[in-house]
Each structure stands twice: as structure tokens, then as C-alpha cells.
Structure 1
């Protein structure tokens, strides 16, 4: 039985030292799928060892065969003591990366290491863990996780948490809001005072306000408490791991780690 959903911090090289000093579980976002495909690495500190290799594919042309690339990933994991791979790929799958996921999934499973992929890549490998986004603007997070658990099994799921801070003009047919900076959200919260509520369906805080120019607004946001609740919900659903960008929550660490 899963009793805890472990929070892992997606950490770029510039924040490696800070994360290491606080002994945070890290997914080292210092890698990229480049032409070939080949694995490219940013200037990762020598001391960055252990945790998970995290890579994106920004700028990848989608051409090539994956076998040599997969071997590069495995060698880097062995050299750095990484024990898993996180794929920060776009939701629209790229065929060569689907093949890489299939090959990596099998190779990592033999070593007992997890592979985390977006849901659009979930069918590429039965051995991969599927990342389920928690940043919803409508519906129910619990229902979303229940549906994913039924499709893949809870042991194959991980949460992909992003810190919400968005202002929606009502009505919002697209479900897309305007991102709020930390200072802008803090200013809004100071003005709204006690008019902040918690949505159990979205697992996030919210408040509403009116303006003379464009009418009703709905502001949805996270804090340390709502992020912890997402992890608690994941644990109740049998999900053991959650990922969040370190840069989004460096100011929330005391509340997240308590």
C-alpha cells in the first residue's frame, strides 16, 4: 500500500547547488535530445550525482534511429549514479522518441529503474510510468487520476505538478487563463483578504473579483498546502511519486517539506 507520494524536484544546472544543499530529491534537468538523436548535456556540476536524469527535446528534428541514443542515456545514468529517467517531452508524440521510450523502458526495467513519460507516450512501453498533469482549470482531479489508474494501473502513474497562478476571465470557454507572477498574485491576495476558498475538485485555492472594464474574474492558485494535498490525493490513489519544477516552489520549501 502506498502511504506517501514522494515529491521530486526538476532541477536545472543553475539550481543544482541550492537543491543539493537542501538535500532535495532531484531530477537533473540538464539533458536534451539532439540531432542524431544523441544525448546532449548542459554544464552539470561534477557533484550532481544520484537522483534521476531529466531530458527535454526542444529543437529536435525528429530524425534518426534511437538505439545509440538509448545506450548514451544508460551510460550517463551509470556514470552519474542516476536511477531513473524523466522525459519532459511535448504532448504530441514524435515517432523516433516513441521507439526510444520502448527501448529505454525495457532496458531500465532490467536495472530496476523507472522511466517517466507524458501520457501521449504511455502506449509506447508497458514499462514506463505515465505522468499525469495536476494543473486543471475544470473537472475533478480525483476523477482524472481514477480514470488514469483504471487505464494504466496506479503503479504506472506519477504526478506532474505545476504551481498554478492564473487569472481567468469569465466565462472562459478555452479554459486558459493569464499567468500571474508571484508579486501580482501576492498583490491580489492582499486586496481580497479573507475571500479565498479551496476547490476540492481542482485541489487548488481560488477567489473571484469584478472589474468595471471586463467583468468577472476567477483566480486559481497553489500554495504549499494545496501542493501537499495533491500529493496526499495521489498517495490515496496508489501513486508513489510526483514531480515539480524546483524554480516554481523555491519560496514554498518550508511548507512543502514540513
Structure 2
């Protein structure tokens, strides 16, 4: 199943056929309560998508609030896109109550210890091999406990390519760099994305970026490894969605 992660402004125009929907309309407040975005869009079924602001002061009401919201909207599961600073005991409690009510639970790798959860692995890497990362995840968690977030990458790394040396780019910023430096682009089979390099003053840069071709290859790799759950952030791919999944 391919899920489109939908912020409130994208719900109305998202395709209804062939894709599941994960509604990014929920957040956990600093006081440990469930918040819902103010939107006029109606939605039923699919997944509830929740993020947070980090540490919270309480969480006793959260599991019940989440389950009730799932029942009200017919959600089949919950994506817990929680930051590393979110309390471990709260994450475990939410996951346990959701599983008890037969709801699927998707978590980032730092909450993989939540029982019966499905671990979401990002395809946005700058070193190593995407095939190796996904294969390692399957080996570590089991084939039925792995989902993939197909990240639509636009990143400018100051070498060496470490996460603290990265700038996220907009489409216009990426196009400006391509136009200014006229560097040839190459496809990396290991990273499963396109890249080019350029220099400014005494610094070397590596730019990674995706398009319909690389996203299609990432999707095909995930499918070839038997991964059954795939997510994409709809605003990033809405203009190329038909090309990603063209037969």
C-alpha cells in the first residue's frame, strides 16, 4: 500500500484512487493533549498522522484521545512521527493501547522498541547504500515490521556530507544552483538519487536531488525487497505522481 501524507491544505485535491491517505492534521501539545488542525476538509478512513513538539508534561489522556479519534474517523492505524525527545513511556503507552484496539502503529527507528509497531525507514541518505539500509532494516525488524518513507530529496551538503552540514533546498534554489554552476548531474545507484558537485571559495559542495525517475527507482527497490508499506509527502510529489507509478 502506498500512502500519501497529506497536510490540511492538500486533503481536498489528493487523488482518491490507488493510494491510501495519512492525514497530517494532528499534533501532541506540550501538555500532552491531542490537537487537531482547524480544517474544513472531511476525511474518513486511512491513517492518523501525529507529530509533536518534543518533551511533554503529561500524557495520561493521550492514548484514549487517539483511539477515540481513530474510531470517529475510521482510521485503520496511527503514524507516530515523534521526535527523539518524546517520552519513551508515553510512546509505549500510546502504541500498546492502539495495538489493543487493532490499530496499526508506525514509528521512527528511535521508537522501534514499541511492541508490534512498524518501523518507518527514510530513503534520504547521503552515505552508504539505500539497498543496504533497507535490507539491514528488514533483517533487524523483520519483513512485516518495515515501512519506507520515500523522501523527495533536495539537499546541499558542505563536504564532508554530514547531517549537520546540510541545507534543505527549495525547487527554485536547486534550479538556481544548476543554472549558476552548470555542473553535470549523475545518478548514484548506491543512494538511489541524482547528484552534482560545485565549489564556493574554499568549500566543496555535494547536492543530492530527486525527480520522477529516482523516486520511481526508490519505489521499485522497496517493492523488490517485499516492503508492503510506502509513504510519500504529497505536496512534494503531486506533480510527478503519475510518472513515479507509470507502468
Report the TM-score when normalising by structure 2: 0.88
Secondary structure of 2:204's counterpart equals strand
Task: Answer yes or no: is 1:251 the counterpart of 2:239.
Answer: yes
Question: Which stretch has the larger CA shift, 46-55 or 94-103?
Answer: 94-103
Q: Equivalent residues in 2 for 1:132-143 (5 A)?
A: 132-143=121-132
Task: Answer yes or no: is 1:79 the counterpart of 2:72.
Answer: yes
Distance 1:57 1:128 in 2: 18
Task: Answer yes or no: is 1:239 the counterpart of 2:234.
Answer: no
Distance 1:203 1:104 in 2: 37
Distance 1:100 1:251 in 2: 39
Deviations along 1:100-129, one digit per CA (max 9) or x if unpaired, are: 244234224xx3x3210111111121x110
Relative to structure 1, the CA distance from residue 93 to residue 201 in structure 2 (aligned partners, 3 Å threshold; closer, same or farther) is: farther
Match of 2:107 in 1: 117
Relative to structure 1, the CA distance from residue 172 to residue 72 in structure 2 (aligned partners, 3 Å threshold; closer, same or farther) is: closer
Secondary structure of 1:209's counterpart equals strand
Q: Equivalent residues in 2 for 1:60-71 (5 A)?
A: 61-65=56-60, 68-71=61-64
Secondary structure of 1:216's counterpart equals strand
Q: Equivalent residues in 2 for 1:39-78 (5 A)?
A: 39-45=34-40, 47-58=42-53, 61-65=56-60, 68-78=61-71
Relative to structure 1, the CA distance from residue 257 to residue 248 in structure 2 (aligned partners, 3 Å threshold; closer, same or farther) is: same
Distance 2:197 2:236 in 1: 23
Kept in 1: contact 2:55–2:85 (CA 8 A):
no
Distance 1:174 1:72 in 2: 35
Distance 2:137 2:76 in 1: 25
Task: Answer yes or no: is 1:188 the counterpart of 2:177.
Answer: yes
Match of 2:96 in 1: 103
Question: Which stretch has the larger CA shift, 235-244 or 114-123?
Answer: 235-244
Match of 1:3 in 2: none
Q: Equivalent residues in 2 for 1:89-238 (5 A)?
A: 89-108=82-101, 111=102, 113-125=103-115, 127-172=116-161, 176-190=165-179, 195-211=184-200, 213-238=201-226
Secondary structure of 2:12's counterpart equals helix
1:178, CA displacement in angstroms?
1.8
1:185, CA displacement in angstroms?
1.2
1:244, CA displacement in angstroms?
2.0
CA RMSD between the two structures: 2.4
Match of 1:14 in 2: 9
1:35, CA displacement in angstroms?
5.2
Kept in 2: contact 1:9–1:24 (CA 8 A):
yes
Distance 1:21 1:226 in 2: 24
Report the TM-score when normalising by structure 1: 0.85
Deviations along 1:41-83, one digit per CA (max 9) or x if unpaired, are: 1124352111111111126524233xx4222222211211211
